[in-house]
Amino acid sequence: MHTHPDPAHPPSTPSGHAPRAASAGLVLGALGVVFGDIGTSPLYTFDTCLRHHHLAVNTGNIFGVVSLLFWSLTLVVSVKYVALLMNADNRGEGGIMALMTLLPARFRTAREGRIGFVSLLVIAGAALLFGDGVITPAISVLSAMEGLVVARADLQPYVVPLTIGILVGLFAVQRRGTGALGAWFGPLMVVWFLCIGGLGLWSSLLYPGIWVALLPQYGLAYFGAHGLPGAAILGSVVLAVTGGEALYADMGHFGRRPIRIAWFAIAYPCLVFSYVGQGALVLARPDAVSSPFFSQVPNGPWTFALVGLAAAATVIASQGLISAVFSLTHQALRLGYLPRTLVQHTSTEMEGQIYVPFANWALAVACVGLVLVFQQSERLASAFGLAVSGTMGITSVVFYFVTRENWRWPLWKSGAVLVLLLGLDVPFFLATCLKFFDGGYLPFALGAFLFLVMTTFFAGRSLLNQHLVETSGELEPFLGELTSLRPRRLAGLGVAMTAAGTGAPPVLVRMLRRFEALHENVFLLTATTESTPWVEPADRLQVQPLGQGLYRVIVRYGYMEDPVVPSAVLHAIRMAGLDVASDQVVYVLGRETFMETNRGRMSAWRERLFALLLRNAADPTLYFRLPPGQVVEIGARVDL
């Protein structure tokens, strides 16, 4: 067996793919893309806490809400995500799926179509985060446009059309890539954070005593005053931290250190100032309770200016979730949870910066639909939080397994951290469940649908691969059959693509028996996806001679890489010492048609769903970058 570096795929940087240095550009880009969601939460969070729960404006309630918001930001975002979870990366990639890929293979594989417990948790968490990705752009932009009504009530009819126009424009520019967008969004977000922080500090002068609300006893006193029903407010407080999961998933776009610097130096203090300022303003001017954020500036031109800045910021807010959805989609399809789809890399320097057209426009349609159905951000707020709070809890559980299996923490230490994290996540989740019938069912329903899609495709793909392994003949009998049949040997090289890395591929057996012909040189090529985001060049390719002109070729890709098979084949030709030109290579693919009966190991309805998903997957010719004129497909009927 031979291994050799692949010049077509240069080595990754030591941290995976994000440069080590936290340059000002990366910090600025991270501020623009990663913190948009959490950075625009002050537009609607404080307002929702007061109005949705019909709280009287008094020091007990306002101090309690400000305290809960401050400690939620501190414990959930600063401690859980920025300080703790961002240490659990897979060579620079973050997010719940990257977290799972750190675990041993037994936690990820499916046997007989059955999926392991941890894999089910991760699929559920990713599906819920997709649901959150639909709501964030809609509620963010809609809440900003509603500021127009604060300035002039007669502008109400223009709120929804303007929101839809902005959303369509946002999704239309996604193909430019997160790096290019971050270069534009970063400076705008600096202005936004300085603006909300400055307004908050100025407003706090109206009621200087508000600063003592940062003490934890005021948050506890709120629950003491309102009892168990008061816990429902956590369903609104969670809106302040909904960007935490996206922050973790976006880590591969900019790197750990730039994100941490941007958070602690700018985003975190400005968010605290904003919430404190809104609390002070409401205590000093109870009439501001209808719109505490926009009431921080004088009515008139200043309101329009703040609405314009907020609109720009909410466009950026949407970017964080959109980028996170791109990353999750790419990871999911490379790990076998979703069918193949087109992925475009948008940066030559940062390999994690990608654009997924199908995910982009599916999100666009869903976001516009939500705006048309709900019309108001206050109604959308009821649907917000359930999905992301569920994902936050699942992430904590998977992180526990990582600390035990990978970091080798003792049980008491891992257990203590799990109890701490779930102590933050579970109350939020239970509180958001109270909003289920007020709109929380929407992200849940979307998440449930995606969960069904991903589990069905993963189970079906596992059964199909298992079927291919089972129907692959043993290599020695195949070589013997090759000797006895003495087939006509065709000039050039045949590349039989197979998921099984052992035996004789069924597609090759069918070709031999049907046509009694075979190329004089044949590669049995298997392209595998590893549990790391990037594969080192030295580990990329293996070539093993099998005799009679056959070679076993294994090509390894990371789950954040796109498989470019022709370049690997050309390299394998050189390694095998063959004299074959690129136009003499023929790629032989198997195409399975599913019988969709109850006789197999997968029920008929799930087999139909799997068949539908597989039919709508990206053409393997395009996915593997094969030259179309050199591809031959041989079909077979399969019952899973």
**Per-residue pLDDT reduced to its tens digit, 375-425:** 887 777 767 777 778 888 999 999 999 999 889 999 999 999 999 999 999
Topology of the domain comprising 472-638: Rossmann fold (3.40.50)
Place of tokens 């790197």: 255
Q: What stretch(es) of the chain map to CATH 1.20.1740.10?
A: 26-457
Q: In which residue are the tokens 């709280």 written?
A: 55
CATH architecture of 26-457: Up-down Bundle (1.20)
Q: Which residues of 366-382 are buried (b: 16+ CB within 10 A; e: fewer)?
A: bbbebbeebeebbebbb
Q: Are 249 and 96 in contact (CB under 8 A)?
A: yes
Q: Name which residue leads in pLDDT, 200 or 137.
A: 200
3-state SS, residue 185: helix
In angstroms, the Cα distances linking 403 to 87, 103, 414 are: 11, 10, 6
Which residues belong to CATH 3.40.50 in the chain? 472-638
Task: Give yes or no for a contact between 490 and 520, defined as CB atoms under 8 angstroms apart.
Answer: yes
Q: In the structure, how many helices (H) and strands (E) does the chain have?
A: 26, 11
Question: Cβ of 515: how many Cβ atoms within 10 Å?
Answer: 12
- pLDDT averaged over the chain? 83
Among 16-25, 59-68, 168-177, 312-321, the range of highest mean pLDDT: 59-68
Q: What share of the chain is helix, strand, coil (3-state, %, to 5)?
A: 65, 10, 25
With 0-12 CB in 10 A as exposed, 13-18 as middle and 19+ as buried, what is 317? buried
Residue 322 · residue 137 · CB < 8 Å: yes
| Range among 38-47, 99-108, 532-541 with highest mean pLDDT value | 38-47
CA torsion, ordered 362, 122, 339, 347, to nearest 10 deg: 70
Q: What angle do CA 152, 156, 161 make, to 5 degrees?
A: 130
Q: In which band, very low, low, confident or very high, does the pLDDT at 353 lie, cut at 50, 70 and 90?
A: low
Q: What is the pLDDT of residue 513?
A: 80
**Cβ 81 vs Cβ 247: under 8 Å:** yes
Q: Does residue 21 carry a pLDDT above 60? A: no
**Do 441 and 382 form a contact (C-beta atoms < 8 A)?**
no
Q: pTM (2 decimals)?
A: 0.75
Of 336, 609, 327, 335, nearest to 452 by C-alpha is 609
Q: 211 versus 34: which is more confidently predicted?
A: 211
Please say if the pLDDT value at position 306 is more than 50: yes
Residues 313, 316: Cα–Cα separation, whole Å: 5
